[in-house]
Amino acid sequence: MPLVPTRPLPPSPTCPPKTSSPVFGVCIPIDYTLVQMDDGEPLLSALVKTRRAYLVDLDGVIYTGSRPIPGAGQFFEELRQRKLPFLLITNNSTRTGRQVSAHLKGMGVLIEPEDILTSPEATAVYLRRDWPTGTSVMVIGEEGLVRAMVGAGLHLTTDPALAKVVVCGLDRRLTYERLVRACTAIRHGAAFVATNPDLALPTEQGFLPGNGATLAYLEAATGVKPTVIGKPSPVMLEIAMARLGVEQHETVMIGDGLQTDILAGVRASVATILVLSGVATIADVAHAANPPDVVIDSIDIVRQALIEYV
């Protein structure tokens, strides 16, 4: 089956013709040091032949709202058949991996909880690198974060004098009193760690304040910047690669966000594929400070490339 874009893409005046992909017609800056192209071979085919591990964003890549993106479920089937390791990576700090898995299964995309890395799970791994079992942690966050902290053997506290770490994720029942306690703990020297920096949440009611807004509040009140684990921090991708037992040069990040997924991939030194099925448009790519290695319409193009080349 030919790999062709499902809609026409405008030419980019910044890209010399010989670096454009003859198959996809997408004109993007290509880093030849990252993936060597054979004579005229499209970059995506070179990429799927040389990389074996896939880190995949969810919203805008696997589904939009409550609708799955065509080919997404089958993409993971192709990976499983070829025994290629993968992890779905989400900045969402409110859900557990089990809840994300159930949400995906409800849309017909079969993904097990162990194939999902949430920002709270990555935060738990990060904390346990430096802090022992039983360390007292103050949590701003919902079920996904609370469960991840308890599951990692950390002790939850609301006492600013006892907290060694303040961990902040999205909390839709946050109160001024709890913000005061978190600020006091941070001022007393507790480490300040954040699951994700997303400023706004896209919802059916429009954009709602995200965890990044709470972080800005705490930073303004304490003068302390948080250590961020979720995308665009490379920490989450490094934790994901460690969990899969793969190296940077073996790994691809697929996402729909230039400032989140692609930037995290660039910072973590992995190959990056931008899909245009979510927030980013081809016009955004032309102005991106950290452009992706490959731009395609949707994850289904990667599925087709796996079938054709791997």
Can you give the binding site for Mg ion, defined by CB under 5 A? Answer: 57, 59-60, 256-257
> Alpha-carbon distance 53 to 43, whole Å?
17
Please give the full DSSP string across 61-82, using - where no structure is assigned.
Answer: TTEETTEEPTTHHHHHHHHHHT
| Set 38, 57, 159, 198: catalytic member | 57
| Set 31, 38, 39, 59: catalytic member | 59
- Minimum Å distance from CB 84 to Mg ion? 21
212/257 with CB nearer Mg ion:
257
Distances (CA, A) of 238 to 55, 97, 223: 11, 18, 28
Residue of closest CB approach to Mg ion: 60
63/126 with CB nearer Mg ion:
63
- Minimum Å distance from CB 260 to Mg ion? 7
- Minimum Å distance from CB 17 to Mg ion? 31
Q: How many CB atoms lie under 10 A from the CB of residue 67?
A: 8
Tokens linked to 112: 């097990």
How far the first Cα of the chain sits from its last, in Å, is: 14
Do residues 222 and 186 make contact, with C-beta atoms less than 8 angstroms apart? yes
Answer yes or no: 59 catalytic.
yes
Query: Phi/psi of residue 63, each to 5°?
Result: -150, 160
- Minimum Å distance from CB 115 to Mg ion? 17
125/258 with CB nearer Mg ion:
258
21/91 with CB nearer Mg ion:
91
Q: Which residues pair with 67 in a beta bridge?
A: 64
8 upstream amide cis, omega within 30 of 0: no
Write the CB contacts of 111 (distance below 8 Å, at least 6 apart in sequence): 76, 88, 100, 101, 104, 105
- Minimum Å distance from CB 64 to Mg ion? 9
23/266 with CB nearer Mg ion:
266
Q: Where in the sequence numbering do the catalytic residues fall? A: 57, 59
